[in-house]
Amino acid sequence: MNPVNTHQWKERVLIVTASSPASIGYRRQERLLTKGKKGMKERNLVIYRLYIDHWLDPENQLMSIKDARAIYNAYAIDPDTFSVLLIGKDGSIKMRKDDIISTREIFQLIDSMPMRQQEMRRSKKPDQN
């Protein structure tokens, strides 16, 4: 079973793949994601990190090869390449990039989605005038 499915209707999922956590592209992407932690939390965004030889879930716990293969297969990901995928709360692919992407771009995409628009409207407090 694809572990990403456990997040459906609860969280958005970012899947970052690279040959190694030492790869230049991955390190640059990770720095950007680290700076955007607050915005990621606000948008219910969790991250799976998949490398050639090990795979980490959103809690940075090691995943089984079976779970990693399920993710690779479900989203047609090449394990040898750098990629960033955004999976919406509905479980569909919202974005697929093979290059580094800023958190600003990720957040703009998420914020433009109808489900996120509803979340933002619900979280606004009425004026206290």
**What percentage of residues in the chain have a pLDDT greater than 90?**
87
User: What is each CA distance from 107 to 34, 65, 87, 90, 91, in whole angstroms?
Assistant: 14, 30, 13, 17, 17
Query: For 27-86, how does the pLDDT look when each residue is reduced to its tens digit (9 = 90+)?
Result: 999 999 999 999 999 999 999 999 999 999 999 999 999 999 999 999 999 999 999 999
Whole-structure pTM value: 0.91
- Domain coordinates in residue numbering, the chain: 3-123
Cβ distance 67 to 13 under 8 Å?
Answer: no
Cβ distance 14 to 85 under 8 Å?
Answer: yes
pLDDT of residue 128: 42
Query: For 17-27, how does the pLDDT look when each residue is reduced to its tens digit (9 = 90+)?
Result: 999 999 999 99
Distance CA 68, CA 84 (A): 15
Would you tell me which CATH number, out of the four given (3.40.50.300, 3.40.720.10, 3.30.470.20, 3.40.30.10), belongs to the domain 3-123?
A: 3.40.30.10
In the numeric block, the tokens 């697929």 are attached to 96
